[in-house]
Amino acid sequence: MDSFIYTSRPGRVVFGQGKVKTLPDEVDSLGVSRCLVLCTRQQVFDAKKLTDLLGDRAIGIFDNATMHTPVHITEEALEMAKTQKADSVVSIGGGSTIGLGKAISIRTGLPHICIPTTYAGSEMTPILGETVDGQKTTRSHPDIQPAVVIFDVDLTMSLPVGLSMTSSINAIAHAVEALYAVDTNPVIQMLAADGIRSLAEALPTIRQDPSSVSARTKAQYGAWLCAICLGSTKMALHHKICHVLGGSFNLPHAETHTIVLPHALAYNASSCPQAMEILARALPNSDGDAIKGLNSLLDKLDMPRDLARYGMQEKDIEIGVQHALSNAYSNPREIEEKPLREMIRRCWAGERAVQDL
């Protein structure tokens, strides 16, 4: 066995149906009593249920969490936290709201309790992506990771089927990159394989029966494992492209990950044979071919394949290429301009991934 380093991440996870009701106890255990609840404008109803649950521990709702965590939105939330004398933040939602909670927490030191309602996985990572003037940058620090995460399947039951699918493929992308990350290790590879397998098994059922509690629970479990992988390894080409395209052209986060994933995997395939073997075993209908297994899953789920539908224009391809080449992330295969350009073009046009461009 090769040598490796494994660093576990601190943080408390509460998992189970109905566990959101333990939120007041988690607040009390942190020794805080003035919680600012964060959400998007689409999830105010959920946020109000939390304030009812918290009672006088809640001091207000900030309902303008925004995709890609624009810094000017963070500044608005910080002002509210200061004015209301918040001593903690509670985020409920997906990556946009969780990102806002992280941004506030790392700037103020306020503890962050996170209640995910999607499968995107930001809640388990010490990573924060923020956008200024259309440029998205990321940073990592242990203090960015939320102090407590509550996974309650009941909060995912109303997640639209389409978003359930793209959010889950986003989670799978985290685990796929962890398989071939420069700092991967056997522990992370086991978590990644189990996370991918759980999601790949749950998603077809959710698509056919969105009310299946067992399938939703399996998906949430798989997403949790995939998120641990993201938080424990360095990101590579897939995440770099998604951050560049999403931040530069305001593309939807989960959908962008879904479209880019097979292309980034195909680009790296020949340079990470062990990762490809593990992935092939985790995906159904792969016949030993990870790319075939991934495409089979995406086809079965009828996933979107082109970025053009979300507003990216052909002229944006070159901008994306140049941004992706700058400050490149570590990657198993050298990042070359010509094949990178063709890969991003294929993502834009919705063409099938081609191995080793």
Amino acid letter, 130: E
Phi, psi of 185 (to 5 degrees): -155, 170
pLDDT value of residue 247: 85
Mean pLDDT of the region 326-341: 92
Give residue 1's pLDDT band: very low, low, confident or very high (50, 70, 90).
Answer: low
- Confidence check: pLDDT of 4 > 90: no
Each residue's pLDDT tens digit, 145-195: 999 999 999 999 999 999 999 999 999 999 999 999 999 999 999 999 999
Cα angle for residues 101, 235, 245 (degrees, 5° grid): 75
Closest CA to 144 of 184, 104, 176, 175: 104
d(CA 145, CA 17) in angstroms, rounded, equals: 23
Look up tokens 């909060």; give the residue: 155
Determine the structural domain holding residue 134 and report its residue range.
12-156
Average pLDDT of the chain to the nearest whole number: 94
Answer yes or no: is 6 within a domain: no
Name the CA dihedral angle for 177, 181, 184, 188, rounded to a multiple of 10 degrees. Answer: -10
Each residue's pLDDT tens digit, 264-312: 999 999 999 999 999 999 999 999 999 999 999 999 999 999 999 999 9
- Confidence check: pLDDT of 63 > 80: yes
Task: Point out the domain boundary residue: 104, 130, 156.
Answer: 156
Residues 129 and 39 in one domain: yes
For the chain, where are the E strands, in sequence order?
Answer: 12-15, 35-38, 58-62, 88-93, 112-116, 127-132, 135-140, 148-151
Residues 31 and 143 in one domain: yes
CATH of the domain at 194: 1.20.1090.10
Task: Point out the domain boundary residue: 156, 188, 211.
Answer: 156
Residues 142 and 30 in one domain: yes
CATH of the domain at 40: 3.40.50.1970
User: CB–CB of 278/185 below 8 Å?
Assistant: no
pTM of the predicted model, to two decimals? 0.90
CB within 8 A of 38, min separation 6: which ones?
A: 47, 61, 62, 63, 65, 77, 89, 90, 91, 92, 93, 97, 100, 101, 104
Residues 192 and 278 in one domain: yes
User: CB–CB of 126/142 below 8 Å?
Assistant: yes
Mean pLDDT of the region 124-130: 91
Answer yes or no: is 197 within a domain: yes
- Confidence check: pLDDT of 59 > 90: yes
Residues 232 and 286 in one domain: yes
pLDDT value of residue 203: 97
- Confidence check: pLDDT of 2 > 80: no
Q: b vs e for 208-232, b when ≥16 Cβ sit within 10 Å of the residue's Cβ?
A: eebeeeebbbbbbbbbbbbbbbbbb
- H helix or E strand, kind and range, residue 230: helix 213-232
